[in-house]
Amino acid sequence: MALANEATRSGQKLYSTVFAGHNKRPDLHWKGLRYRLVQCGAMTSNHYSRFSAGRSAARLIGLSAVVATLAICAYAGGQAKSGAPEKPAAITLNSIKAKATTGRAAKSGPSANIGQKIRLNGSGFDENVSVMFTGFADSTWLVRPLEVKPRRVVVTVPGQVVTAPVALSDPEGGKSNSLTLQIVPTIETLTPASVAPGARLLIDGSGFARDAKVIFKGVAQPVVPTVVSPTRIDVVVPAGAQTGKLTVMTGGGQSKAMRLTVGAAAPQ
């Protein structure tokens, strides 16, 4: 609402249009206002109460009081709206766009090999977001993405990651919901390339987990290794193993096969 001053040729008359009807009988308005100012001055012993004795002074003070009141209300309203900072939008993970380039995943759903780029889709992403993976020893750590968009994050699957839930983390937005990413193992080398039953075989690669098992041709059941690390498996070649394909199996899937030559066992 606006404040207005009106001057007549017969004499100066100041009145407020803030309140409906006051422009019709300003003398009644200022009379009541003068009374209130006098009462306020008496209660507070404020020296400004002396000005209320004069009609014109009371009118001017009344206008100032109205303006001040409106200003305080406007300020208070602005403070109520902007006093507390807005809480950042929560981040949400809707899907993981990934498929292992080598090997076969254990089941349908997102899968990847170590070192492969994957895409996470959702909302609420900003430059502070990180991707939370689970490692070989069930520890978790944050990885900075290669690319961040408001609804998309691209990241490289780091070494020592295992099949486990993946989530997004932001210092302000908090932690998102999680989705499982299957890590499919890969085989790089077999040492030695030719081995006899009962001998030790070293399998180097990536994506190995503590539940890893080795599948030999000619052996009905997968073989549990002696030692497993994220990049190496130490296993004893079982009796009955034959020359042919060898694979590594984990909870995330099965590796692409590599040929192993199995010779005759050494005589006892």
- In the predicted model, what is the mean pLDDT of residues 252-268? 87
For residues 171 and 89, give the distance between their C-alpha atoms in angstroms, rounded to a whole number: 12
What does the pLDDT read at residue 173? 85
> Which of the two residues, 48 and 84, has the higher pLDDT score?
84
> Residue 176: which domain range?
92-183
Strand partners, 118: 155
Q: Say yes or no: 97 and 124 in one domain.
A: yes
Is residue 268 situated within a structural domain? no
Higher pLDDT, 16 or 36: 36
Residues 129 and 169 placed together within one structural domain of the fold:
yes
Same domain, 158 and 115: yes
87 in a structural domain: no
User: How does pLDDT run across 129-177, given as a tens digit for each residue?
Assistant: 999 999 998 899 899 999 999 999 999 999 999 999 999 999 988 999 9
Per-residue model confidence (pLDDT) at position 64: 55
How does residue 86 score in pLDDT terms, banded at 50, 70 and 90?
low
Q: Is 196 exposed, middle or buried (0-12, 13-18, 19+ CB in 10 A)?
A: middle
Same domain, 62 and 137: no
Which residues neighbour 241 within 8 Å (Cβ) at sequence distance 6 or greater? 197, 216, 217, 218, 219, 260, 262
Report the percent of the chain where pLDDT is more than 90: 62
If phi > 0 it is left, if psi is from -120 to 50 it is alpha, else beta; for residue 108 that is beta
pLDDT digits (tens, 9 = 90+) for 186-214: 999 999 989 999 999 999 999 999 999 99
117 and 179: one domain? yes
Q: How confident is the model at residue 13 (pLDDT cuts 50, 70, 90)?
A: very low
Is the pLDDT assigned to residue 252 strictly greater than 90? yes
Question: 62 and 11 in one domain?
Answer: yes
Do residue 246 and residue 194 come from a single domain? yes
At 267 the pLDDT is 56
**pLDDT tens digits, 53-62:** 444 444 544 5
What pLDDT sits at residue 30?
45
Question: Of 183, 202, 224, which one is at a domain's C-terminal end?
Answer: 183
Model pLDDT, residue 261: 97
Q: What pLDDT, on the 0 to 100 scale, is given for residue 268?
A: 55
227-228 and 232-236 beta bridge pairing:
antiparallel
pLDDT score at 224? 98
**Which string of DSSP letters, residue by residue, matches 160-203?**
TB-SEEEEEEETTTEE---EEEEE--EEEEEESSEE-TTSEEEE
Q: How many domains does the chain have?
A: 3
Q: What's the burial of 127, exposed, middle or buried (CB within 10 Å: 0-12/13-18/19+)?
A: exposed
- CATH number, position 224: 2.60.40.10
Q: Are residues 69 and 123 in the same domain?
A: no
The last residue of one of the domains, among 126, 158, 183, is: 183
In this prediction, residue 68 carries a pLDDT of 52
Single residue among 126, 161, 183 that ends a domain in this structure: 183
Residue 17 falls in which region: left (phi positive, over 0), alpha (psi -120 to 50) or beta: alpha
